[in-house]
Amino acid sequence: MRCRICGRKPVIYMPHHRLALCREDFASWFERYTDRTVREFGMFTSEDRILVAVSGGKDSLALWHVLRKLGYRADGLYVHLGIGDYSERSRRKVEDFARSIGAGLLLVDLTQELAGIPDLERLSARSACSLCGMVKRYNFNRVAREHGYSVLATGHNLDDEASSLLANLIHWNLKYLGRKYPVLEEEGGFVRKVKPFCKFTEKETALYALLNGIEFVEEECPFSEDASTIFYKDILNRIEERFPGTKLRFYLEYLRKVYPRFREEEEEGALGLCRVCGEPTPAEVCPVCRLRERILNFKKDSNGA
Ligand SMILES: [Zn+2]
Ligand SMILES: [Zn+2]
């Protein structure tokens, strides 16, 4: 097999594109393909100010790298989750990376603003992963809005999107089917959210990060992805092995055929704004403000004891 562009030895063969590419041609293909996805879904233009949510992992750092390289105005946002050494190492990777590309970085320290994930888990009935998702979404939106960014970009890849689609399909979670899309427009206090890597497999983003010498945190979060996510990713990879191209087609055909039908049904009542912090929420007080209240009460109680 040879690189389709130059005929040299390839570093990757992508059966879903029937495309083999060498190092150089893969990197430039990856960048052009990202830009095509951005334009295909109308994610943003060079006028927009983009905030990239970075965790220190390969996907988000690669995304930030590509967007800057394509000439977009993209800064980073890191939420420090207070998960021991793991969070410290991730923070350092993100800070070093921001410096190396000369880009602006915003930091939210959860241990100062609220409490670290391990402490939150002790105070809540929810799992660490669900709390983490909630406080990250909350802070991504709040910070983007407060600092005047028009778009929030995350590094979700095809494996993330296709596996969560499969999990939600199996449970016939129709609400999800009308909500999952690579672009969610600004609405009712939410900034526009985009996923420019939604058509790249995990293998492709990892290779791009490696070829560009991007230093990312390789270890998984100690709380790790929940077991069911890993299971659905694994199943999809096994289907992909047997029938190459299935994963991408499964996702793209959902976007084309299924999402438009369920989207209308999803039109729910408008969200209100949290009485305390002003972020959008269906309740009077948003879940993050309720957590904060619980932490304050807990501190009061333990001081009084
Ligand atoms: Zn080549
Ligand atoms: Zn609130």
| C-alpha separations of 41 from 138, 155, 199, 200, 213 in Å | 24, 16, 12, 15, 29
Same domain, 201 and 66: yes
* Inter-residue contact 55 to 78 (CB < 8 Å): yes
Q: Are residues 250 and 293 in the same domain?
A: no
44 CB-contact burial (10 Å; exposed 0-12 / middle 13-18 / buried 19+): buried
Between the CA of 28 and the centroid of ligand 1 the distance, in Å, is: 10
Same domain, 230 and 141: yes
Per-residue pLDDT of 214-247, as tens digits, reads: 999 887 777 776 778 889 999 999 999 999 999 9
Cα angle 153-12-29, degrees, rounded to a multiple of 5: 50
* Closest ligand to the CA of 283: 2
Mark whether 65 and 191 lie in a shared domain: yes
pTM, 2 dp? 0.93
Domain interval for residue 162: 35-268
Give me 238's structure tokens.
Answer: 């096994």
Task: Establish if 17 belongs to a structural domain.
Answer: no
156 plus 83 within the same structural domain = yes
Residue 147 and residue 42 share a domain:
yes
79 is in an annotated binding site: yes
Looking at the structure of the chain, the number of domains it has is 2
Q: What is the mean pLDDT of residues 78-104?
A: 94
Query: Nearest ligand, CA of residue 276?
Result: 2
Assign residue 210 the CATH number of its domain. Answer: 3.40.50.620
- What pLDDT, in 10s, does the model give residues 172-214? 988 888 889 999 998 888 999 999 999 999 999 999 999 999 9
Are residues 162 and 286 located together in one domain of the fold? no
| Domain identity same for 106 and 49 | yes
Residue 96's alpha-carbon distances to 67, 101, 104, 217, 258, in angstroms, are 18, 9, 12, 12, 42
Q: Is residue 182 part of a domain?
A: yes
Residues 285, 242, single domain; the answer is no
